[in-house]
A and B are shown apart, each in its own frame.
Chain A
Amino acid sequence: MFVGCIARQPAAAQADSDTTNRLTNTVSLSAVTVRAIAPERFLAGQKIQRIDSTTLLQFRFASLTDVLALNTPLAFKNYGPGQLATVSFRGTSANHTAVLWNGININQPNLGLTDFSTLPVAGFDRLAVQYGSASSAVGSDAVGGSILLGNSPSWQPGIRLTAGQQIASFRNNQTQLGAQYASPLGANWKLSGKSLIYRSQLNNTYPYTERQNYFLEPSTTAQRGLSQDLYFLHRNGRQVSVHVWLTDNDLIQSPQDTLARERTQTQSARWLATYEADRTTIRLGWIRDVLDYAKGNINNPSHTQTDRFISRVEREFAFKSTQNYQLTLRAGGEWSHYWTRTDGYGGLLIEEDRADLYALFRFQTTRWLLSANVRQAFVTRFNPPLTPSLGAEYQLLQHKRFTLTGKGAISRSFRVPTLNERYWVGLGNPDLLPEDGLNLEAGLATAGALSEHLNLMAELTAYRNRVNNWTYWNPAVNYHVENLQLVVARGLEVTTGLTYRQTAWKAGIRISYAFTRSSQERAYDTYSQDILGKQLVYVPMHSGTLNAYIQRGQTRLSVQMQANSRRYTTFDNSQFFKGTLLTNVLLEHTVNWRFMPVRIQGQVNNVFDTLVLGVKRNALPGRNGAINLIINFPSHIQ
């Protein structure tokens, strides 16, 4: 029953999978337990992009913003290095992307979004991007798409220690210390675990105060974090796992001025325990998000604290499983309780319950893959809509060395309003209607071997996502939140990749282009005539990425490029930032130093010194570099 799931992964994208990934799959296959997260299996017809482990290793000292910006068409609204970065996925707003960590949504609930600058790539093992609405499988926020972060165990026995250090331009530096371990526990159980602590200090000591007459904003960011995973696997496939991820991000803008400096401290503690047995999964989680903001006297911040207790029970049923047909149902329920104490809500403790019931069907034949899902969410004093979705994939061509798949999906989406939208004193609106989204998409995907050494993949997707009752902080009624806007996003995404493998040489190139046309379509006041049909701000109409590498033995040279057309900065499109092309070059080499593999990465970012502007019209830094060292101390118990 797992064959289909694995076979769906494009050959080219998997070419670089490391041993850890393969091991995971092997374990999953041998144990009759379903470990994949629902959205990766139950959204037939929708595009999913898995970022391979080699890429994640290259971005090991980067934030989630960087890896996504250079590998996907996601557009970021970036305030500066180490500062707030929010996403626009397929022309939607920052509230319309679900960020899942091991299957649970970790968007900050007061703002209903994730600041991608606070999530370092080192904190997770797997990264996938699920395109399009996926509310039926994911729940709230999955309107434009979802980012799936996950951790996975390595069962190779022994203890392996890793130390990493980055020294970068502008007196910036980072340190990571980690351990990965696995061992049998008695006759029936075995343990696998991973611990990582990391710190980074961005001093941003630029040798210039302006670039092409645009000022750079002085700011410092200190980041600390801990990630801990433990897996206990029984011989019969039962598994208990615990994941912890603590992040602390301390940003100070204008640190040089004691009166004007601003401090934003974001802290999150995320705990998740999972029990998987046979076909049942039980998850219990607790997340605390703290947000402190202060200006001038930075020790007296305004405080936001939100706690969530999350519980989820899922069971998978295999109705009919033959060689030719498999029908699977995954049904589940979820209940969460929220506590928030926020200065802006009057400082009172506000509580609410959220619950979901869902059923996900998956039907697979040799040529067809169909999914039909339905979800109903329940939220205190709020009425989310029933959210169904339907998707299909059909193998139009099945050759020994070549496949062509046609895809299509239709899905409704919803978003539970943010806590700010509901509870902010005087502005929040407890009577908000749910936003109502309908996403249609269709595509073609192909993968094949052009020769013994050369593989090709290509995917073409077109979509239309219409979101009605889009919320708007309406200045006409003192910035009270109202369901005023209607946003229609349509677009086209093309990706093609070519990989070459020979005994000594490896090379690959992946080129992606996205066309995104997203506009507000409803008039609601006198002046909205000027913004009707205009492209949403900070969403480039054209964007593209190019990733190429060439590798011989343990040496690899990579080029990463990201281009986008103009980004409008005003709703009436009267002002814009010019289009930009960013290029990074990365040279990596692994040497064996006293039997220890030492990975050395040298990177030059923004090679051509392109001027890119942040949201506040400040210049982002020009050409800069970093040297990364990752030492893997060998295992002593082999």
Chain B
Amino acid sequence: MKKQWTKSMVVGLVALSVWNCKTSDPEPTPYESGVFILNAGNFSSNNGSVSFLSRTSQTVATNIFQTANPSLVLSGGVQGYTEVNGKGLILVDNNTAGQDKVEIVDYATFKSLTTLKSPDIENPRQVIQVGPNKAYISCWDVSGDFSAGTFYKDPGYIAVVDLNTRTVTKKIPAVKGVENMVVAGTEVFVGSNAYSGSNTLMVIDLATDAVKERIDFGSTPEPIALDANNKLWIKAGKDLVRVNPATRFVEQRLTFSATPGSVVISTDKQAFYYTLSGKTYQISINATNATGNVLIPRSFSTLGVDPQTKRIYGTQNPLLYTQAGYVIRYESSGALVDSVKAEIAPSGFYFR
């Protein structure tokens, strides 16, 4: 009896002190404002990470998930990141089946809140916010052998995540190699990976989380963004296609000499940046033919645009993903700012 009393006393004291800590000393929020660099890591080494780069610094804080959660690990390539109502969702792709996951973290501290795992999550590709507390995560599902044609499982699915309960509430069967998703009003337009062989542009109704329509697009659609006029842009092979999301009609088709790479929309949504044949271009959303202006006389594996500073971020990787890659920053004019060493295979940005 006495022992129990002592025990409850100790528990009470510990609880009190923890509560004390919480009230008197709020957690620091080191990642309040800056750039998250998503590092894909080396194939099969499962060593991806998220680095944090302050807008005024030239060095990154490495592997901030590990820093914030010393007892946890990502163990995979970081495939995507977005924030929904104060929570960050990190997509982690491991090369072994059944070991992919989504880490849900507090956006300011990066402390882990929960982990979504297999079978809910299998080969996650992209995450987008689709409601005040709702996210969609496109998932290829388990990958087989590429040469045997079983690499992209048919169909892949979209995991619907409720950020209140922090669970996957539904898996929407999607298309083979499901990847890019763009919200337009109450609908989500869903495409696939360029190598998937699927030509279906899928439309999901946000109210019901159900497939509303499947449109044969003629070639593999990769939805990019909505422009300033709320028109949907889709990459399809060498083409950039402007679609009216309400009528589903194609309004413009720009055909490039080769497949444009790393297509991103500008902050004002009036133009796109893309790479082509070793250069980085800018093209207006009102262009009538596929001739952009050279902005930077080199290309990058990934482009990002910082909405705050309008700066352009490009990634440059060494030839092998066995050493850190670089992030190179430019003014929106194309003038070089600096070059910052990131981690293994930087291949995505999230600006806050």
Contact = CB atoms under 8 A, between A and B. Distances in A.
Candidate in B62, B72, B96, B319 with the most chain A CB atoms within 10 angstroms: B96
Contacts of A257: 97-98, 142
A208 interface: no
Interface of B is mostly: loop
Interface stretch (A94-102, A567-575, A596-604): A567-575
Given A213-B73, A215-B99, A295 B145 contact: yes
A30 interface: no
B143 interface: yes
A184 interface: no
Contacts of B144: 259-260, 295-296
A624 interface: no
B137 interface: no
Contact of B322 (A256, A296, A571, A615): A571
Contacts of A218: 98
Contact of A296 (B98, B150, B318): B150
Nearest to B49: A575
Interface string A204-237: 0000000011110110000000000000000000
A278 interface: no
Contact of A616 (B45, B97, B145, B148): B45
B42 A570 contact: yes
A151 interface: no
Interface in B318-350: 318-320, 322-324, 341, 343-344
- B: interface residue count bin: 20 to 34
Interface stretch (A16-24, A67-75, A372-380, A525-533): A525-533
Nearest to A575: B47
A132 B160 CA distance: 58
Contact of B324 (A475, A525, A572): A572
A213 B98 CA distance: 14
Given A215-B94, A616-B95, A295 B148 contact: yes
A378 B183 CA distance: 67
A259 B150 contact: yes
Contacts of A616: 44-46, 95-96
B71 interface: yes
B310 interface: no
A202 to B, nearest CB: 17
Contact of B46 (A253, A254, A476, A617): A617
A4 B351 CA distance: 73
A156 interface: no
B143 A570 contact: no
Interface string B145-171: 100101001000000000000000000
A217 B96 contact: yes
A383 interface: no
B97 A254 contact: yes
B259 interface: no
Nearest to B69: A213
Interface in A119-169: none
Given A213-B72, A295-B148, A572 B96 contact: no
Contacts of B341: 530
Contacts of A300: 148
A297 interface: yes
A356 to B, nearest CB: 35
B129 interface: no
Nearest to B149: A296
Interface in B89-103: 94-99
B244 interface: no
Most chain B C-beta atoms within 10 Å of own C-beta, residue among A215, A217, A257, A295:
A215
Given A527-B318, A570-B42, A254 B150 contact: no
Contacts of B98: 215, 218, 254, 256-257
Given A296-B148, A572-B324, A618-B96, A214 B75 contact: yes
A537 interface: yes
Contacts of A254: 96-98
- The A interface, classified by DSSP as helix, strand, loop or mixed, is loop
Which of the listed residues A214, A475, A574 has the most CB atoms from chain B within 10 Å of its own CB?
A: A574
Given A296-B145, A569-B47, A475 B319 contact: yes
B144 to A, nearest CB: 4
A618 B344 CA distance: 18
A467 B344 CA distance: 28
A253 B323 contact: no
Contacts of A571: 320, 322-323
Nearest to A215: B99
Interface string B56-76: 000000100000000111010
Contacts of B72: 213
A214 to B, nearest CB: 6
B142 A617 contact: no
B323 A530 contact: yes
A575 B145 CA distance: 30
A256 B148 CA distance: 19
Contacts of B75: 213-215, 617-618
A465 B15 CA distance: 59
Contacts of B324: 530, 570, 572, 574
A280 B182 CA distance: 79
* Most chain B beta-carbon contacts within 10 A, residue among A213, A254, A476, A537: A213
A575 B96 CA distance: 20
Nearest to B321: A570
Interface string B304-322: 0000000000000011101
A261 to B, nearest CB: 8
A474 B318 CA distance: 12
A476 B319 contact: yes
A267 B319 CA distance: 35
A475 B143 contact: no
Contact of B96 (A215, A296, A476, A574): A215
Interface string B78-98: 000000000000000011111
Contacts of B99: 215, 217, 618
B52 to A, nearest CB: 16
A531 B145 contact: no
19 contacts: A212-B71, A213-B71, A215-B75, A254-B97, A259-B144, A260-B97, A294-B145, A296-B150, A527-B318, A570-B47, A570-B322, A570-B323, A570-B324, A575-B47, A616-B44, A617-B46, A618-B46, A618-B75, A618-B99
Interface of B: 42, 44-47, 62, 71-73, 75, 94-99, 142-145, 148, 150, 153, 318-320, 322-324, 341, 343-344
Given A215-B94, A259-B97, 13 more contacts: A213-B71, A213-B72, A214-B73, A214-B75, A254-B98, A257-B142, A259-B142, A260-B96, A297-B150, A570-B322, A574-B323, A574-B344, A618-B99
Interface of A: 212-215, 217-218, 253-254, 256-257, 259-261, 294-297, 300, 474-476, 525-527, 530-531, 537, 569-572, 574-575, 615-618
7 residue pairs, one from A and one from B, having the closest CB atoms? A260-B97, A475-B319, A527-B318, A572-B323, A295-B145, A259-B144, A296-B144
